[in-house]
Amino acid sequence: LKINKETALSTYNAEKSQAIERRYLLQKELMHALDRREFLLYYQPQYDTRNREITGIEVLLRWNHPTLGIISPAEFIPIAEETGLIIEIGKWSMKEACRQLRSWQESKCPHLNLSMNLSVKQFYQPDLVSMVSSVLEENRIVPDHFELEFTESLSMHNSDSFLKTIKDLKAIKIGLSIDDFGTGYSSLSYLTQLPLDKIKIDRSFVQKMLSSKQDEIVIKSIIGLAENLGLQMIAEGVECEKQAEFLVKHGCYHMQGFHFSRPLPEDQMTQMLNSHYIS
Ligand code: C2E
Ligand code: CA
Ligand code: CA
Ligand code: CA
């Protein structure tokens, strides 16, 4: 097979300019998405496999654009971060999610927990803590029922303002989880410095753990680490019974993933809660 350099290059350039164009379009459209009420929240239940109870719900943002369709947060969150729009979008999501949590707590599940993803950019907002606490207060939500998930980034490690924000969030008794654990810049000393409550074992480990001895060792080590540090843990991206069994065998009982439920729109989540016993 002869590779034609010129064709390859022009294909590459065409793809690249298409990607740039798409990004530009999304950036432009994202500026109006809040005003046009194009965002919605999906909810994915988290389970305790020991009693099959729903212990919490993770909030996942969706952008439903009238002509482009549903756009994945993996695509638009980075753009929202770059443009700074993430601050307003994050605020909107938090208000919306807390309003929803309040309604679920009042109707059926007084002890339901909700967890939300927080972008690094939001950590550097000086009014983050006061914003969060006022949204919780407005909805009369006890902070122990509210959790924030964040992924590690290198910039956090040497930042005093990040550390202060984390401590202030802890001071008002909000749960703090490290998301995608094992994929970031995790340094163990750093783990012990932060007032963390939980680690979320990244989906990539869950997906690989049954296929190789090495990945089995990695997952066992993460579980051991969480146990030794006295942290709660939850595995994400659990897609089959085999994975669930394996995790239970090694001492990880909390899980979320397609095997239990996909992320659901509000009405379906409500239905599920109505038909489910919650402690
Ligand atoms: P994440 O926080 O790691 O969220 C988990 C992602 O895995 C979600 O994708 C979820 O739909 C998907 N997932 C859940 N169970 C399974 C499974 O069993 N198998 C597989 N293959 N996937 C599963 P989603 O909703 O597309 O979100 C992607 C990422 O976008 C999230 O990753 C999070 O980093 C970010 N994100 C979502 N909502 C928000 C938000 O409100 N704020 C911020 N800052 N980021 C968000
Ligand atoms: Ca998450
Ligand atoms: Ca995750
Ligand atoms: Ca992720």
Q: Give percent of the chain above pLDDT 90.
A: 79
pLDDT per position as a tens digit, 266-277: 999 999 999 886
CA of 50 to the centre of ligand 2 (A): 22
Among all bound ligands, the one having the nearest atom to the CA of 61 is 1
Predicted-assembly ipTM surpassing the 0.90 threshold:
yes
Nearest ligand, CA of residue 256?
1
Q: Does residue 189 register a pLDDT over 80?
A: no
DSSP 8-state assignment for residue 144: G
Letter for the amino acid at 98? C
Q: Which tens digits make up the pLDDT trace of 50-99?
A: 999 999 999 999 999 999 999 999 999 999 999 999 999 999 999 999 99
The pLDDT value recorded for residue 142 is: 96
Q: Which residues line ligand 1 (CB under 6 A)?
A: 44, 59-61, 72-74, 77, 93, 117-119, 179-180, 203, 236-239, 257-258, 263
Q: Taking 70 as the threshold, does the pLDDT of residue 279 lie above it? A: no
| Ligand 1, atom 46: closest residue by C-alpha | 117
Secondary structure string (H, E, C) spanning 203-238: HHHHHHCCCCHHHHHHHHHHHHHHHHHCCEEEECCC
Alpha-carbon distance of 206 to 275, in angstroms, equals 28
Contacts of 151 (CB under 8 A, 6+ apart): 120, 178, 179, 180, 183, 184
Q: Residues 235, 259: contact at Cβ < 8 Å?
A: no
